[in-house]
Amino acid sequence: MLVTLQKVLSMAEEGGYCIPAFNVYNMETAMGVIAAAEEAKAPIIMQVYPRLFAEKAGYYLAPVVVAAARQASVPVCFHLDHGPGELEVTRALRFGATGIMLDGSTLPFEENIALTGQVVKTCSYLGIGVEGELGHIGTVNDEGMDEFTCPEDAARFVKETGVSCLAVLVGNAHGRYKKPPKLDIERIAALREATGGLPLVLHGGSGIPDEEIRQAVAAGIRKMNVATDVCYAFLDRVHEELHDPKRSVAVDNFMKQPIEAVKQFCLTRIELVGAKGKAI
């Protein structure tokens, strides 16, 4: 069933676990993600980068995600990931998104508060919650990612914007880590306390050691984003299939194994963050 961001976050909060948020790129990655959620009986988030909605692909992908979520037997939120401004947010809402991220993390603090607060207000008319970001989470190639999110700033940001959850910089980054990251678990706990127990979001979920993720969830992470490893699960199996002389050239049959690979990967993340069986 298609549900809002607030719905899955409140389920995670009540149960003390974390919702896995998988980025999807096409029908096949969406099929793998939904198959995993249904098998594991887990509430999940399917999220899409705004670039996909800016291209023609959005006209095909958005209805696929909405239909997949609607027919699923488990709660699924359709979320915009890293929306940079009101144009992208409006477009995602028109495409049927039930959760919005407004990423104003590269703006000066006051401007981030103003823009995020404005989007929270707009989305509230539709009953849709917003994820904000404070402390810019760059990529694994960026220098100077050591200015972790400040708890006092986070407290003010949350109070003034009214976000439903907050993405924080605590040693995480997007992409394939060159060496396993060490998350600042105490910082996560401090951010959680400073924001009055707001659900916190961990971006860059690909390649973080399992034990770090468990500790992060125990400290207050309630949504974990995974994108790069969804792509690798899919593409690695595509490569394998291409080298199999017995492969099918009918594209739908060819895609069955890559879809299965995405499903198997997602099952491991669902279990790790404690979401397995929580949709019952």
Among 227, 255, 262, 270, binds ligand 13P (CB under 6 A): 227
CB of 218 to ligand 13P, least distance (A): 20
CB of 168 to ligand 13P, least distance (A): 12
Q: Which is nearer to ligand 13P, 152 or 211 (CB)?
A: 211
Residue 226 in contact with ligand 13P, rule: CB under 6 A: yes
Q: Would residue 81 show up in a list of annotated catalytic residues for this protein?
A: yes
Q: Find all residues with CB under 8 Å of 144, minimum gap 6, and list them.
A: none
**Measured between alpha carbons, how far is 214 from 49 in angstroms, rounded to an integer?**
26
Residue 23 in contact with ligand 13P, rule: CB under 6 A: yes
CB of 61 to ligand 13P, least distance (A): 16
Residue 174 in contact with ligand 13P, rule: CB under 6 A: yes
Q: Are 184 and 148 in contact (CB under 8 A)?
A: yes
CB of 224 to ligand 13P, least distance (A): 8
Cα atoms in the Cβ-side hemisphere of radius 13 Å centred on 164: 27
Q: Find all residues with CB under 8 Å of 263, minimum gap 6, and list them.
A: 32, 33, 35, 36, 39
Q: Quick one: which segment of 180-188, 210-218, 220-228, 250-258 binds ligand 13P (CB under 6 A)?
A: 220-228
Among 205, 220, 258, 274, binds ligand 13P (CB under 6 A): 205
Among 29, 149, 164, 206, binds ligand 13P (CB under 6 A): 206
**44-83 mask for ligand 13P (x: CB under 6 A)?**
-------------------------------------xx-
Phi-psi region of 144 (alpha: psi -120 to 50; beta: other; left: phi over 0): left
Residue 129 in contact with ligand 13P, rule: CB under 6 A: no
Grouping H, G, I as helix, E, B as strand and the rest as coil, residue 83 is: strand
Q: Are 48 and 30 in contact (CB under 8 A)?
A: no
User: To 10 degrees, the CA torsion angle through 219, 214, 136, 23?
Assistant: -130
The structure tokens 């069933």 sit at: 1
Active-site residues, by number, are 81
Binding site for ligand 13P (CB under 6 A): 23, 81-82, 174-175, 203-206, 225-229
